Amino acid sequence: MTRVIEPQPKILDITLYQSGASKIEGQDNAIKLSSNENPFGTPDSAKTAFAKAAYQLHRYPNTDHASLRQAIGDVHGLDAQKIIVGVGSDEIITFLCQAYAGVGDEVIHTEHGFSMYRISTLAAGATPVCVPERERVIDVDAILAACTEKTKLVFIANPANPTGTMVGQREVSRLADGLPAQAILVLDGAYAEYVEGFDGGAALIETRDNVVMTRTFSKMYGLGGARIGWGYGPQEIIDTLNRVRGPFNMSEPQLAAAEAAVKDREWVEKCREDNARLRAWLAEALMEHGVPSDTSCANFILARFINEAEAEGCDDFLKANGLLVRRVGGYGLPNCLRITVGDESSCRRVAHTIGQFLEQNR
Ligand SMILES: *Cc1c(COP(=O)(O)O)cnc(C)c1O
């Protein structure tokens, strides 16, 4: 018998997700500025809650996540019924693709968009459609022009990764209102906490039935290792996503840590202020070395070099000096390096080292 074991269509088109490097061969104290993690770590409130939950590990977790959803709802002024919790916002993205896109359907992402949109689209058997951006900013007209009767989902991150740029509320509304009747706009708000006074698009959802927002505990809340994210959207869509969600997708330590973290408003204020101050300093310092970047609204800077060779050379030089940043050639930005805003000493060190490299190489 000749076997013909084959995966579902599109699965083999998936290129594996590349995470930010975390180790440098032969160096123990590398400074990691490659994954947009919080340089101040995890709030003590969340670590304590996580540890306490260890005493109940023999119990199955609750399945409705009511307590965490209520806490998120209270903090953000949202209806807890319309919140869904997942294993990172990645899982919410997976649910959306699984529930709304299949073979023959199209899912739009943009030129420099987050790679999980494409991966989850292919995993669902659907066809990813890549739309150009305008100078590293999402182009609403280009997205609308790319929509067809097959478009089921449109993913944008606001602020975006790896560009750090944002589109305004009016543009986002125009996008939502211009989509074909069968399409959902997904607003990925992984970095929304870094923008003072920004609701991630929540208000838009109250007045529309085709917009969903995803959020994460991985960035500002310093819980990337614990894998917690959430989504907010119209009741009908959230109810649909809950049908594909595994009942025990979240463990109790995850739920407890997230609940403590979201209530820790002091942490959020402090991290937002520190990030804004250090980000401005870092952008300015790089500019003085002749390395421009777009105004970033997130916790990283996309540094633009003269060409790919210079970006790669600088990355190698940083590595040799114990500093890890992110190459973004895979995001169509080969002449750029994405640098997470670290603590003050990391920012100084990365700026100084880039300055040294350019002094020797320009
Ligand atoms: C980091 C990031 C996320 C977070 O993913 P999690 O699965 O919640 O860790 C989501 N979207 C974008 C654009 C990101 O950069």
Mean pLDDT to the nearest integer, 339-360: 98
Statement to judge: residues 296 and 155 lie in one domain = no
Number of structural domains found in the chain:
2
**Confidence at residue 228, expressed as pLDDT on a 0 to 100 scale:** 98
Does a structural domain hold residue 8?
no
Is the beta carbon of 216 within 6 A of some atom in ligand 1?
yes
Q: Distance between CA 101 and CA 244 in Å, rounded?
A: 13
Query: Where are the alpha helices (H) located in the chain, listed in sequence order?
Result: 44-53, 66-76, 88-100, 115-123, 140-146, 169-178, 202-206, 235-244, 252-263, 265-288, 308-320, 344-361
Statement to judge: residues 190 and 80 lie in one domain = yes
Mean pLDDT to the nearest integer, 143-152: 98
Is the beta carbon of 114 within 6 A of some atom in ligand 1?
yes
Does a structural domain hold residue 216?
yes
Statement to judge: residues 149 and 181 lie in one domain = yes
Does a structural domain hold residue 73?
yes
Token readout for 226 is: 């614990």
Test site for ligand 1: of 37, 85, 89, most ligand atoms within 8 A of the Cβ? 89
**Confidence at residue 264, expressed as pLDDT on a 0 to 100 scale:** 97
CATH code for the domain in which residue 255 is found:
3.40.640.10
Between the CA of 4 and the centroid of ligand 1 the distance, in Å, is 36
219 CA: nearest ligand 1 atom: 1
**Confidence at residue 163, expressed as pLDDT on a 0 to 100 scale:** 98
Q: Where are the beta strands (DSSP E) in 10-86?
A: 31-32, 83-86
89 CA: nearest ligand 1 atom: 8
% of the chain with per-residue pLDDT over 90: 95
Test site for ligand 1: of 42, 166, 187, 188, most ligand atoms within 8 A of the Cβ? 188
Q: pLDDT tens digits, residue range 266-278?
A: 999 999 999 999 9
Is the beta carbon of 89 within 6 A of some atom in ligand 1?
yes
Tally of CB atoms within 10 A around 198: 17
* Residues ≥6 apart with Cβ < 8 Å to 229: 85, 86, 87, 88, 89, 90, 91, 92, 214, 215, 216, 217, 218
Between the CA of 156 and the centroid of ligand 1 the distance, in Å, is 12
Q: pLDDT tens digits, residue range 209-227?
A: 999 999 999 999 999 999 9
SS (H, E, C) 295-308: CCCCCEEEEECCCH
Tally of CB atoms within 10 A around 196: 10
217 CA: nearest ligand 1 atom: 8
- pLDDT higher than threshold 80 for residue 20: no
Between CA 299 and CA 306, with CA 303 as vertex, the angle to 5 degrees is 175
Residue 362's pLDDT band (cuts 50, 70, 90):
confident
Statement to judge: residues 144 and 223 lie in one domain = yes
- The residue assigned the tokens 């490299």 is 357
Q: pLDDT tens digits, residue range 279-335?
A: 999 999 999 999 999 999 999 999 999 999 999 999 999 999 999 999 999 999 999
CA–CA distances in Å: residue 361 to residues 124, 283, 313: 46, 20, 9
Residue 153's pLDDT band (cuts 50, 70, 90):
very high
Statement to judge: residues 216 and 256 lie in one domain = yes
Between the CA of 359 and the centroid of ligand 1 the distance, in Å, is 35
Does a structural domain hold residue 12?
no
- pLDDT higher than threshold 90 for residue 25: no
- The residue assigned the tokens 């359907």 is 105
pTM for this entry: 0.97
162 CA: nearest ligand 1 atom: 15
3-state helix, strand, coil in the chain (%, to 5): 45, 15, 40
- Which domain range does residue 104 map to? 44-263
